[in-house]
Amino acid sequence: LHDTKLHDTKMASDSPARPSGKRQDTLDWAECFMAMAFLAAKRSKDPSTQVGACIVNEDNRIVGIGYNGFPKGCSDDEFPWSKTSDNPLETKYLYVCHAEVNAILNKNSTDVRNCTMYVALFPCNECAKIIIQSAIREVVYMSDKHAHKEHTIAAKRMFDAAGVRYTQYKPPHKQIVIDF
């Protein structure tokens, strides 16, 4: 269990003694950025799949965050969230923007060249194309649950050809707790 406090209301005068050294229980950069991707995923309205992505530059600055959802202006209440239907127009797949694409589109810098993307789920082939075209140099992912599917195999093939590194993230802790 790892405990992260975002806000501590205690005053310095409340402490009987000054700490003798710096905190040792901080998050490392990779843990922090993957946690940000998972936190962004909490914004997704998708009832079955919540994915978040966090793009970081070479200075460990976040330059983009995204999560999966419908495009701006497309109501979460009017478009389908279903995974199956006889009519493909009644499933979510033709409408949802993936977290990776949203993170790139939401970037707060000129470009994402040479950045690293942290993402909860290995990118599909369509996201891989956009990641490559955006010149992102590395993808760090948590889950590869679709490794056997064609879209993931194609994504890895393109990443390999384009020189985009991809690494499965192995968290040092089972969970991160945020106390408010």
98 is in an annotated binding site: yes
Q: Is the dihedral of CA 32, 37, 38, 40 positive or negative?
A: positive
124 is in an annotated binding site: yes
Q: Is 38 exposed, middle or buried (0-12, 13-18, 19+ CB in 10 A)?
A: buried
Active site residue 100: yes
Close Cβ partners of 17 (under 8 Å, ≥ 6 residues apart):
none
Of the residues 100, 126, 138, 150, only one is catalytic, namely 100
Q: Give 69's DSSP letter.
A: B
Separation between Cα atoms, residue 104 and residue 111, nearest integer Å? 9
Binding residues for Zn(2+): 98, 124, 127
Would you name the residues annotated as active-site residues?
100
Binding residues: 98, 124, 127
